[in-house]
Each structure stands twice: as C-alpha cells, then as structure tokens.
Amino acid sequence: MGKRSARLSTRGQRVYRGTGTRPIVAIVGRPNVGKSALFNRLAGAPIAIVEDIPGVTRDRLYTDAEALGRPYVLIDTGGFDPGSEDPLTLGIANHVRLALEEADVVLCVLDGTQAPLPSDREAVALLRGSKLPVLYVANKIDNARVANQALDHYTLGIDELRPVSALHGHGIGALEEALVACMPAANDEADDATDELDRVAIVGRPNAGKSSLVNRLLGEDRQIVDDRPGTTVDSVDTVLTYEGEPMVLIDTAGIRRKRSVVWGLESLAVMQAVRAVERSHVVVLMIDANEGPSEQDAKIAGLAIERGRALVIALNKSDLLDDAGRKRMLAHARDIFSFATWAPLQFVSVSSGRGVQKLMSSVRESAKAHKLRVTTGQVNRFFEEVLESHPPPSMNNRSVRIYYATQVQAAPPTFVIATNYPDRVHFSYRRYVINQLRERFGFVGTPVRVFYRGKEKRA
C-alpha cells in the first residue's frame, strides 16, 4: 500500500496520514461496547476516559502505541449510532467516518455479552464498503459461557470473531498479533518527527471557543462544536502544519471552578485537561471576552506557570465588543493576570478569523523563547553589566556578592546564580534580574526561573 497524501486546509495539514512506520488503527463500534477500555489496554495507559455511560468518548482521540515492536497510531472514536437524530450523535457518526478515512486498519468492537443490535449491523455494513482490513473484536469475554454467547455475532456475516477482555487483558496478545499482520509494510523513509514537535494545549472554561479555534486552524470540523458547555471531554491531539511549521494542538475539556465540578465524567475531563497542560510546551488560555477573565482563569494560568509552560492569553469573541469595551476588557485582563505580565494577550474572533494569525505568531514566538538556551559566556557578560549598573542591595549590613551564573535548562529557561548569601537576595532584586533577563534575551511568553545557590567551598 503506497503512502497517501494529507488533505490540506487553509492553514493546516493533517500529518497523521499514510502508512510509513506508524500505521493508523481506528477503533469503532456502537456506544458502550468498551472501545475506550480497549484503547487504553492497547495504549498501555489510561488515556481515554472510561465510564459506564454511553457517549463518553465524543471526539477522535489519538495516541502512539506499539504491538510486537511495531509502532502505530491508535484512534479512539465516539459510539457509532447512525439511527440517532441527536445532533451530537450525528457529529460522532461523521467523526467515525473521518477516522475511517485516516485508518490503515480498523478494529470493530462488539459487546460479546449481548446479541447483535441494529447499530452493530449498520456498523458492519459500513465497514464492508471501506475496503480496509477489519478485525472484529468481541469484548467483555471473561469466561467460556460468555464466549459461547458471543458466537451470535457471526450472523452479521463476520469471517472471524476475536474474543477479548479489554478490562482484564484476555486475548490481547492474539489480537495484537493479528493487528500487526494486517498493517501495511513499514516504510523506513517515513519522517517520524511528531515526538519533537511543539505541543500547544488549548485550555479554558467551558464554551470559550477552544474547539472552534482548532477547527479554524485546520479548516475543517475536526472537533465537535456545540453551544452546550462540556462538549469536549477527552484531550484530543491534532497535528497541524501552520505556515510551514508543524505543531501538535491539544484541545481540552473546559475547566470549571472546583465547586462546580461534579465527581464523575466531568471530573475526569478536568484531570484530562490538567494532564494536557503537563505534557504541553505552550498553553493557550481561551477566554470569552464578553464574560471577561475570572478567578478561575487566573488559576488555570497559574497552573500553566507552575508546570513551567509558556502561556498565551486569547480573548475570544472580541468582535462583539466596541472600542471602549475592548479597552475596559484589556485593563481588566491585565489586572487579573498581573502575575504574568510577560504573557502575550491577544484579542481574537475565532468565528471570523480576526486576530488568529497574530495569536499563532505569539504561540510560535513563545514556543521558541521557551526552548531558548543562552551560553554561560553570554549570561555572565549580561550579569557584569547588571552588577555595574544595579548591584544587589546589602541586607543586615552584609554585602551580597554574585560570582557567576549559568543556564541549567530550557523549557522553561532556568538559571542558577552563585552568591555568598542566597537567602539575603531581596525579592525585589530577584524580580529585577528576571525582568532584565527577559529584556536582554527575549524570553517572551515563557516563565523564567532563577535560583540562587551558595558558592561551594573548596576542600
């Protein structure tokens, strides 16, 4: 099977296409058959939300997986129910079809404890027309009695049914062997560069326009957009090439105030969003400009800074504000985010596209600053100038001396300064040093950490 080209959008390109060294495997099936449980089992980590409620998985969810030493991309999908008239369910059905367009192999999951339903028959009929290798999986097979019940699914016209228990791991080894056998031949020339791409987590309160931003950048309805808060549940990774530069967008569930979160599905979604922040390089905090930033937005920004992530703040729906309203909103935002004055703040209108290009420029600039390394020579020449113009003040009649400084890591930029009295460096001087580092080396949009250490004495 030859390599297939990606579909281009206005500004984005979907990179997870083609065979290469990472074939794409899509998991499909009707709601509540255990697709997400199988996804987690094959991925080897609890990535997808698993709960005994139909419709928990709504967007396509990507992850890297490996079977018998062969890496591949695994896609979880929402429950397929073509007979439903619910707009949200219809959106899920469209996403399943999109996943099938991207896939090299399909795993069709059936509930082995139940007789086939009409939606199972429609799913099998859809797959017969896809011309893709399909493995039919009877899930929830925990004993011989249930295995015998699962034989009813052969009435769907299935050639071979593979019994597994995603919960307990039964039959997973045999399934992985069959999966690898169906994968297209590896292409050693394929570029597997996604591991090093900048990861951009799009976070914020529910209904702030996070998924709409992803769709705008991709030029397609990649994410489900609905005016009901909480439409996005899982954190969803999408590879995008924006103006020639690839990156990974992570759409996340809306983060509510803690007292507004009911334990269960939404609590799990919040944890997904927090984990997305932890594995990102840049966090884009989406805010509804009509509502304005809140204390909860400040907490989300604080979470990103605490995790050492670059931060860009986007005030969405700003086209609904007049000039006076924009000025008031800008002043309010600067007040709320006074602890992160270095974070770029952009007015955008995702629906019209206004300001999106400036927002993405800030994202790329912040990502670059986040990974910037400065040589020890440059750092020490900088400190020579700082000490000459503004030496640290004395405390308790003791002079604070700075001997040398070095950058010990990037992402975020982190510096260590050797001094005789690390505990006596005044907080105002610490802040001054960070501001000077930002100005000199262009650390825009990223936290900068500076630690003061006592100079080691020679033995």
The per-residue pLDDT for range 135-183, each reduced to its tens digit, is: 999 999 988 888 888 899 999 999 899 999 999 999 999 999 999 999 9
Task: Identify the weakest region by mean pLDDT among 90-94, 198-202, 454-458.
Answer: 90-94
Give 251-263 as a DSSP string. Answer: E------GGGPPT
Where in the chain do CATH 3.30.300.20 domains reside?
Answer: 376-454
The C-alpha R_g of the chain, in whole angstroms, comes to 26
pLDDT at residue 11 tops 70: no
| Mean pLDDT confidence for 88-114 | 71
- What lies within 8 Å, CB to CB, of 259 at 6+ separation is none
Task: Identify the weakest region by mean pLDDT among 172-181, 183-192, 359-368.
Answer: 183-192
| pTM > 0.75: yes or no | no
Evaluate whether 311 touches 340 at the Cβ level (below 8 Å). yes
| Mean pLDDT confidence for 185-194 | 50
- What lies within 8 Å, CB to CB, of 181 at 6+ separation is none
Task: Identify the weakest region by mean pLDDT among 94-103, 110-119, 161-170, 297-306.
Answer: 94-103
What pLDDT, on the 0 to 100 scale, is given for residue 348?
A: 97
pLDDT at residue 291 tops 60: yes
Cα separation, 395 vs 440, in Å, equals: 27
- What is the CATH number that goes with domain 24-182? 3.40.50.300
Higher pLDDT, 346 or 299: 346
- What is the CATH number that goes with domain 376-454? 3.30.300.20
Which neighbouring-strand residues pair with 228?
none
What pLDDT, on the 0 to 100 scale, is given for residue 164?
A: 95
DSSP H helical ranges for 71-209 = 87-102, 118-128, 144-149, 172-182
Task: Identify the weakest region by mean pLDDT among 91-95, 293-297, 299-303, 426-430.
Answer: 91-95
Q: Which amino acid is at 442?
A: G
Show the tokens assigned to 336.
């709320």
Higher pLDDT, 298 or 398: 298
Sheet holding 414-419, edge to edge: 402-409, 414-419, 449-454
Query: pLDDT band for position 132 (50/70/90)?
Result: confident
Evaluate whether 99 touches 73 at the Cβ level (below 8 Å). no
What pLDDT, on the 0 to 100 scale, is given for residue 449?
A: 96
What pLDDT, on the 0 to 100 scale, is given for residue 186?
A: 67
What pLDDT, on the 0 to 100 scale, is given for residue 388?
A: 92
For 404-453, what is each residue's pLDDT tens digit?
999 999 999 999 999 999 999 999 999 999 999 999 999 999 999 999 99
Burial of 350 (0-12, 13-18, 19+ CB in 10 A): buried
How many CA atoms lie within 13 Å of 269's alpha carbon, on the beta-carbon side? 28
| Mean pLDDT confidence for 204-208 | 86
| Mean pLDDT confidence for 110-123 | 87
Sheet holding 70-76, edge to edge: 61-67, 70-76, 24-28, 105-111, 134-139, 161-163
pLDDT at residue 187 tops 70: no
pLDDT at residue 270 tops 70: no
What pLDDT, on the 0 to 100 scale, is given for residue 230?
A: 45
For 233-265, what is each residue's pLDDT tens digit?
455 678 888 888 889 888 876 666 545 444 333
Share of the chain above pLDDT 70, in %: 75
Higher pLDDT, 265 or 221: 221
| Mean pLDDT confidence for 39-61 | 61
Where in the chain do CATH 3.40.50.300 domains reside?
Answer: 24-182, 194-370
Alpha carbon separation from 56 to 79, 340, 384 (Å, rounded): 8, 35, 58
Cα separation, 427 vs 111, in Å, equals: 61
How many CA atoms lie within 13 Å of 193's alpha carbon, on the beta-carbon side? 12
What pLDDT, on the 0 to 100 scale, is given for residue 250?
A: 87
Cα separation, 447 vs 202, in Å, equals: 18
Helices then strands, each counted (H, E), the chain: 12, 15
In this structure, the chain runs to a length of 459
Higher pLDDT, 187 or 176: 176
Task: Identify the weakest region by mean pLDDT among 87-91, 106-110, 303-307.
Answer: 87-91
What pLDDT, on the 0 to 100 scale, is given for residue 428?
A: 93
For 157: left if phi > 0, alpha if psi spans -120 to 50, otherwise beta; the answer is left
Name the CATH topology of 194-370.
Answer: Rossmann fold (3.40.50)
Which neighbouring-strand residues pair with 368?
none
Cα separation, 284 vs 96, in Å, equals: 28
Whether omega before 46 lies within 30 degrees of 0, making that bond cis, reads: no
What pLDDT, on the 0 to 100 scale, is given for residue 101?
A: 67
What pLDDT, on the 0 to 100 scale, is given for residue 48?
A: 57
Mean pLDDT, the chain, integer: 80
Q: Which amino acid is at 329?
A: M
| Mean pLDDT confidence for 337-343 | 96
Crossing angle of helices 265-278 and 295-306, in 10° steps, is 50
E strand segments, 77-229 = 105-111, 134-139, 161-163, 198-204
Task: Identify the weakest region by mean pLDDT among 149-163, 265-279, 345-359.
Answer: 265-279
The DSSP letter of residue 2 is: P
